[in-house]
Amino acid sequence: MDRRDVLADAAIAVLARDGGRGLTHRAVDATAELAEGTSSYYFRTRAALLQACVDRLTARTLAEVPSATRPPADVDELVEAAVALVGRWLTADRDRLLARWELALESTRRPELGAALRTGGARIRQRVAATLDGLGVPDPARRADDLVACLDGLAFDDLAGAGPQRDAAGLRAAVTDAVHGFTSGRA
């Protein structure tokens, strides 16, 4: 793995563990188990480190979302992909969600970070829109925006404790309802 990716992953882990205030070059170096000063060599400023987090989160999410090279065959396959993705966010990749929300909160005070998050989010939504378009879903861009927001909301409710704690069956039912709701009326 590229050194920049290792450092960005470590920064994501620091954000998830310690929040935005805990994100320092020293904390990233320690988490990555690299010599002190390594992260500041690659990412000179805290702003550059935050940008690296956004870029890495976007790249990792894009790698998981169905694409033109591996589109779902039908809505049921899309449901399975969405269930797996949200389930992974809530378990093995929990740190990614926590870090993204830390970045979102910090972006309210840093317009450049907000712009980076919107750019990354637009790339993900474009991928989802292309997937919906390939399935014949009308108005795929709007529905992609809404579907992504809905899946994010389900994850937030579960992880932050804002809503019901769903077991695997409850999560599957909620994701299935969301995907079918946003893909209904296919052409």
Supply the mean pLDDT for the chain: 92
171-174: which pairs have CB atoms within 8 A and are 24 or more residues apart? Answer: 171/83, 171/86, 171/87, 171/90, 172/83
Averaged pLDDT for residues 110-138 = 94
* Ordered domains of the chain (ranges, CATH): 55-183 (1.10.357.10)
Q: Are 66 and 131 in contact (CB under 8 A)?
A: yes
Which residue did the predictor score with more confidence, 21 or 184? 21
Between CA 92 and CA 96 the distance in angstroms is 9
Give counts: helices (H), strands (E), the chain.
9, 0
Query: pLDDT tens for residues 60-83?
Result: 999 988 876 778 999 999 999 999
Q: What is the pTM of this model?
A: 0.90
Q: Give residue 71's pLDDT.
A: 83
The closest of 168, 180, 183, 181 to 83, measured between CA atoms, is 168
